């Protein structure tokens, strides 16, 4: 799995139909109509996400490795 930044993850989830609901500090909260889940993505400048967090976000958003 390729490690990516929070900014890049935001762009990927937006391509998959998620929309930015609000920003709380450095955390971007995304929602998707019809799904009762909120995604919280930390965007700390251009820092990479940790592998476990990235994997959890990908699983919740329905994103696969090939989509990165």
Domain residue spans of the chain: 6-62
What are the tens digits of pLDDT across the range 38-67? 999 999 988 999 999 999 999 999 999 998
The alpha-carbon radius of gyration of the chain (Å, integer) is 11
What pTM, to 2 d.p., does this model score? 0.90
- Calculate mean pLDDT across residues 18-44: 95
For residues 62 and 1, the model is more confident at 62
- pLDDT value, residue 13: 96
Interior angle at CA 52, CA 47 and CA 54, nearest 5: 55
pLDDT, the chain, mean: 94
Decide which of 3.30.920.30, 3.40.50.1110, 3.40.190.10, 3.40.50.300 is the CATH code for 6-62: 3.30.920.30
Q: Which of these, 51, 53, 33, 52, lies nearest to 42 by C-alpha position? A: 53
- pLDDT value, residue 45: 85
């Amino acid at each position: 799995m390729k490690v990516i930044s929070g900014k890049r993850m935001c762009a990927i989830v937006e391509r998959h139909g998620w929309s930015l609901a609000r920003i709380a500090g450095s955390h971007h909260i995304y929602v998707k109509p019809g799904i009762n889940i909120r995604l919280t993505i930390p965007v700390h400048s251009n820092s990479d996400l940790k592998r476990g967090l990235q994997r959890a976000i990908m699983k919740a958003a329905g994103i696969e490795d090939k989509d990165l």
